[in-house]
Structures are given as structure tokens and as C-alpha cells.
Amino acid sequence: MQIYTSYSVKIKHYNSIFKDTVIVYRHAVDYLVAVCLDNWDDISTFKGANRLTYIETLIHATKDNSNPAYDFDAKFYKMPSYMRRGAINEAIGKVSSYKSNLANWNDNPVGNKPSTPKAGYVFPSMYRTVMYDQTDMYNAQIKVYVRNTWDWIAVDLKKSDMDYIYRRCSTRKQCAPTLQKRGKEWFLDFPFEEKVTIGDTPVYEQTIVAVDLGINTAATVSVMRPNGTILGRHFCKLSRETDHLTHSVNRIKKAQQHGNHKTPRLWEKAKGISHDIATKTANYIMDIAVLYNADVIVFEHLDKKGRIHGSKKQKLKFWRSQEVQAVVTNKAHRLGMRISHICAWGTSKLAYDGSGTVLRGKDGGFNTYELCKFQNGKTYNCDLSASYNIGARYFLREILKSLDESSRLLIEAKVPQCSKRSTCTFSTLINLYAEINAPVA
């Protein structure tokens, strides 16, 4: 499979000279969006690069096409050809998405009608040789709109950023950079493409890392085998970072109680701490996966859509579970590991030994939600029990998928709990594996 990553390199000594370039590019995208909307019936008949070619015949004059239908060349004089084509592709993507969303809305008119697409906050790609030229290890030339014309300017690139690329990304294919603005500073975002081979280990030989992402405990990790053997149990608590985040959130609350509702500095600090927790959690999970040479990393499918209610909504807002999974996915694929997701319903609610629902917090007589009490009276770590259930549900799904229809129905008849995975627990996996490996009478 192909993996795409990007790294930002800061442009030194400039802070406003690129504004005109971005403005011209966005105006060109808006102009081309209107062209695509007017001619979409014809454009939609073409596929792939032929769409770009057809639109160019509508807007760009050549020797064989001296009278195009639109005066794009007059409005955007001497725009570089690769930037024009980048703007065309941007417009095609926006209009295609709009037409698809509009068709879905017409079939099921729920919510507001999709609005007409606009350029928005797009930035131009600096294609090599015609827009970007690397003149030295830490210097480059880029073509921008300056002094009412398109001209080359020399830029200095931050040494530490370029050293990172030379050291870490030398084996990857470097693509055309994109000019970006963050705050008051400008960057060149360099995309990298690499091909990796994802492992295809048979399910009965796999070692998995089952991860339960939490709020109090950043991650609880169990390393499992398909027969239910637990090779390792690991807890990523990050107590210091969590205390820093709680303190930062409390400062925001106190400021809001005194009527100061605009606190950008405090919010940025809290978001930075939250990002740091997500990064450290992802690194911890990957360290465990590499330590045990895992084949698959299993997460819960966490749907965080909709409004958050309850006393813990502020903590949930800063819970970057999606960011953790995204970082782990990128790193795992680079190492040839697979990522899988299972249904999250009941993984923490149901005891791993199959005794039923657990009692947490005050219901179980505890001052913390990290512990729970099973129906049989056993006290156990709730997140650890959930990680067992997460790994078990993955193996149950994969094992049943590997069986033919008649064998699967026979197994489900003997172990009826495995027929509904949203209520399966670790004990279900033990029973299933025992039944599959039972001696034939």
C-alpha cells in the first residue's frame, strides 16, 4: 500500500510577500468553479485527466485553440501553467463533491441544502521546475505573484526542518510542496510518498495489541494470542500531563466565571497539552506493539459525533482519541502492521469473565472509575477488562470469517454467545477456541 505523509518547513525572513499569490490563486479557483458549474453536464462525461484537458480548452488559448469560451487568460495574465492546472483540479474536486452531496440531499432532503462551492482557504502547490527549484540544501526559489507579475524569489528554509527531511525522509519519494500560512508565518509543506507491504499473518498465528483508550488512564494495552493467552498488560497513565490539562481547563473555567469568555491564550495552552498527551499515548502504544512484534493493533470504533452532555463533557472535548488512532495507524502501516476496529458497545460495561455487567464508581463502592466489581464479587481494573474484550471481539470476528458456512453455523450452535459480537466477552473467545480444538468423537 501507499502511505502519504507531509512535513512543514518554515520559510525565513518573509511574512507578507506571498499574500498576493494566494489571493490570485483563490480567485482563479472561484472563477473555475463557476466554469465547472456551467459546464458540468459535459465535464461529467469525461474521466480522470480528460476532465482537466476539456476545461483547459474552455479557458486557455493555444495555437490550435485561439478563441476559448472564457477569458481566463485575460483575467489571470501569465499565470503559470502548472498553477492553472492545480486550480482546475481543485475546482473539479469541489464541484464534484457538491454535485454528489446535492444528489444525496435531493434523495433524502434532511438538513440544509448544500451550498454552492467556493475556493475557501485553499493554498497553491509549488510544482517542481516551474514553481519550485531547490538551489541549495537550505535555499530554494519559488515563483510567486509579486510587483504585478509572476517572478522568482529566493527563500531561506529553516535548517532544522530541512535536516529532519534529509535524515528521516531520504528513502521516500518527495512530491511537490504546498505554500501554507500558519499564524503570521509561511511554510512549505512537503508531501512524501512511500510504498509498504502490510503483513498477512493467518489469524491463528497472530499476536495482537488490544487498546482501550480512556480519559483517566490514557491507554490500557493487552497483548493477546488467538487462544486467549495474555502475553502482557501495560498501562499508560501520563498523570503529570493529565494534571496539567486539568489545571489548564480550570483556569479557563475561572476566567469564564469572571466574565472573560475570550481566552485564546488559555485555550491554546490547553489544546497544546491535549496534543502532547495524544502524541505520547500513540508513541507508547507503538512501543508496546514493536516490543511484542505485533501483527495487528485493535481499537474500539469511537463515534464522537453530536453534542456532548454531562459533567464530564469538558474532559471528553479534550479527549483526542481520533488523533491517537490516526497517529498509530500511520506508524503501524509504515512497520507493516494492520489496524482493526471493533464495536465499542459494552466493552467496559461487560465483565471479561462473562459474569454480566459490572458496577463502577459509587455503584461498586469505589471512589474511582478505574475499578469495577463483577457480579460474582470480583474486583478488577475496568479498563483492563475492556481491553480483554476488545481483543476477544477481534479474534472472534476473524476466526468466524475464516470458517466455511456449515462449520460456522455448527460452532455458533455450540457457542451461541459468539453469534452476537456486541455482547461477546473474553470468556466467549475461550469457549470458542476450546470448541474448535475439541477432539472429534
Taking only the tens place, the pLDDT of each residue in 286-298 is 999 999 999 999 9
Give the model's pLDDT for residue 311: 58
Domain C-terminal end among 54, 87, 107? 107
In a domain, 187, yes or no: no
Task: Kindly tell me if the per-residue pLDDT of 258 is higher than 90.
Answer: no
Residue with cell 481547563: 249
Domain count along the chain? 2
In a domain, 126, yes or no: no
Distance from C-alpha of 256 to C-alpha of 266, rounded to nearest angstrom: 11
Q: Which domain holds residue 226?
A: 203-436
Would strands 338-343 and 296-301 be described as parallel, antiparallel, or unpaired? Answer: parallel
Distance from C-alpha of 321 to C-alpha of 148, rounded to nearest angstrom: 47
Give the model's pLDDT for residue 81: 92
- DSSP string for residues in 374-422: -TTS-EEEHHHHHHHHHHHHHHHHHHHHHS-HHHHHHHHHHSGGGG-GG
Q: What percent of the chain has pLDDT over 70?
A: 96
Give the model's pLDDT for residue 422: 86
Domain C-terminal end among 107, 142, 170? 107
pLDDT bin (cut points 50, 70, 90) of residue 233 is very high
**In a shared domain, residues 97 and 220:** no
In a domain, 6, yes or no: no
pLDDT bin (cut points 50, 70, 90) of residue 228 is very high
**In a shared domain, residues 226 and 355:** yes
Look over the chain and give the mean of its residue pLDDT values, rounded to a whole number: 91
Give the model's pLDDT for residue 384: 95
Give the model's pLDDT for residue 309: 64
In a domain, 122, yes or no: no
**In a shared domain, residues 372 and 226:** yes
In a domain, 308, yes or no: yes
Task: Please compute Rg for the chain using Cα positions.
Answer: 28
pLDDT bin (cut points 50, 70, 90) of residue 441 is low
Domain C-terminal end among 58, 74, 107? 107
